[in-house]
Amino acid sequence: MANRIFGQIPNFPEGSSFASRAELSRAGVHRPTMAGISGAGEEGADSIVLSGGYEDDRDEGDEIIYTGHGGRDPNSGKQVADQQFTAGNKALALDKARGLPVRVIRGNMLDSKYAPKEEYRYDGLYYVDDFWSEIGRSGHRVWRYRLVKEKGKPVPVEDSLVASPSDRRAERVETTIQRLVRDTKQSRQIKSLYDYTCQFCGIRLSTSVGGYAEGAHIRPLGRPHDGPDSSDNLLCSCPNHHVLFDMGAISVNDDLTLIGMAGKLTLHAKHKVNSDHLRYHRVHYADTPTATTNTA
The interface with a copy of itself within residues 141-200 (CB under 8 A) comprises 148, 151-157, 160-162, 164-166, 168-171, 173-185, 187-188, 191
> Do residues 41 and 94 touch, judged by C-beta distance below 8 A?
yes
CB of 292 to a copy of itself, least distance (A): 14
Handedness of CA 68, 72, 50, 218 (dihedral sign): negative
Query: What's the rounded Cα separation, in Å, for the pair 218 and 88?
Result: 26
- Compare residues 254 and 287 and give the one whose CB is closer to a copy of itself: 287
Torsion 219-252-66-182 (CA) sign: positive
Interactions with a copy of itself, residue window 262-281 (CB under 8 A): none
List 225, 279, 281, 282, residue binding a copy of itself (CB under 8 A): 225
Q: Min. distance of Cβ 109 from a copy of itself in angstroms? A: 16
Which residues between 13 and 72 bind a copy of itself (CB under 8 A)?
41-42, 56, 58, 60, 62-63, 65
Q: How far is the CB of 23 from a copy of itself (least distance, A)?
A: 27
Using the rule CB under 8 A, is 240 a contact of a copy of itself?
yes
83, 142 in Cβ contact below 8 A?
Answer: yes
**Ranges within 93-112 binding a copy of itself (CB under 8 A):** 93-94, 96-100
Binding flag, residue 247, a copy of itself (CB under 8 A) = yes
70-89 binders of a copy of itself (CB under 8 A): 85
Nearer CB in complex with a copy of itself: 118/174? 174
d(CA 291, CA 21) in angstroms, rounded, equals: 41
Question: Does 202 participate in binding a copy of itself (rule CB under 8 A)?
Answer: no
> What residues are paired with 246 via a beta bridge?
none
Return the C-alpha torsion angle 134, 148, 224, 266, nearest 10. 80
Q: How far apart are CA 197 and CA 236, in angstroms?
A: 7
Q: How far is 166 from 137, CA to CA, in rounded Å?
A: 58
